Amino acid sequence: MSQQFCDVTPLTVALPGPPPLTMSVLDTAATRDSRPTLLCIHGVGGVKEQWLPQLSYFAQGHRVIAPDMRGHGATPATAGPYSMQRITDDLRQLIDARQVRTPLALLAHSYGGVIALELARSHPELVSQIVLIGVAARFNYGLLFKLATMAPVPGWLLEWGRQRFFSRRFHAPAPVMRSLMAQALLPWRGWEQLAEIQQPVLAIAGKLDVVAPPQAVAKMVRELPNARLRVVLRVKHKIHLQRPNATNRIIQRFLEETATEHKP
């Protein structure tokens, strides 16, 4: 069955930085409904359009915002920094610039889940609920991703390879992905502070996911005070794209069940 998407025109949002940034964003705009805004965070090499199934599904009752993170998709790369502080500040500035009512719910995929957890931990007043899709305390990335982000290979050579062979898979220049991993994600020690996160958390795992295997996701869930696990069958890492209808129903049920649980 083909997926029907809502018609949302990308817009650009000026963020003060430092360094300043013009962020490309999909925003379903304001809603009169009292339900929280959903802020969607893609992973390393991801792009805002991967959230189109969720924008389409949830736009009837929620405001849904999906940005291209710094250096990804249509958001330009900058000289840095690509620290966790900078990335979470980008999101806080986006919330302010778009006048988003808080607390809001976070939907995050892969390493975007690390960013979501840090935002919820460091600014709990901004976040009411968290949905982690394909997120584990220990990721099992393959050789290709490790070469692109960690290997001592010249950045220009990695970027040539990305453009030549993997431009549809990785939507950020190789040096950006490498900087994000080295400066923000690998140094993050938030896994040791999961007990501080009091918001309700839903972790969705793909039964066939080798990047964030269900066993690794379950281990993370056990460390969170208020978390639940759902495993989706016949799907790998991009759960929300490969089985969007099932994923959306699981998310909707979680949002409804936990709507009044967290009071910052």
Binned average pLDDT, 10 residues per bin, the chain of 264 residues? 61 94 91 81 94 94 95 92 94 96 96 95 96 90 63 69 67 82 84 92 96 94 96 95 96 94 65
What is the DSSP-derived secondary structure letter of residue 62?
Answer: S
In a domain, 21, yes or no: yes
In a domain, 183, yes or no: no
In a domain, 160, yes or no: no
Instruction: Please tell me the distance from the alpha carbon of residue 245 to that of residue 58, in angstroms, as a whole number.
Output: 11
Measured in Å, how far apart are the chain's first and last C-alpha atoms? 41
In a domain, 180, yes or no: no
What integer pLDDT is reported at residue 147 of this predicted model? 61
What integer pLDDT is reported at residue 98 of this predicted model? 95
What integer pLDDT is reported at residue 150 of this predicted model? 66
What integer pLDDT is reported at residue 204 of this predicted model? 98
Q: Respond yes or no on whether the N-terminal peptide bond of residue 187 is cis (omega within 30° of 0).
A: no
What is the DSSP-derived secondary structure letter of residue 51?
Answer: G
Q: Which CATH number do you get for residue 44? A: 3.40.50.1820
In a domain, 173, yes or no: no
In a domain, 83, yes or no: yes
> What's the domain range around 29?
11-139+192-257
What integer pLDDT is reported at residue 6 of this predicted model? 64
What integer pLDDT is reported at residue 115 of this predicted model? 95
In a domain, 111, yes or no: yes
Output the CA–CA distances (angstroms, integers) from residue 262 to 20, 34, 35, 124, 130, in the order listed.
Answer: 33, 15, 13, 10, 11
In a domain, 174, yes or no: no
Q: How many domains does the chain have?
A: 1
Please identify which residue in the block is written with the tokens 């460091």. 122
**Closest listed residue to residue 73, CA positions, set 183, 175, 173, 145:** 173
What integer pLDDT is reported at residue 124 of this predicted model? 96
CB 41 within 8 A of CB 106: yes
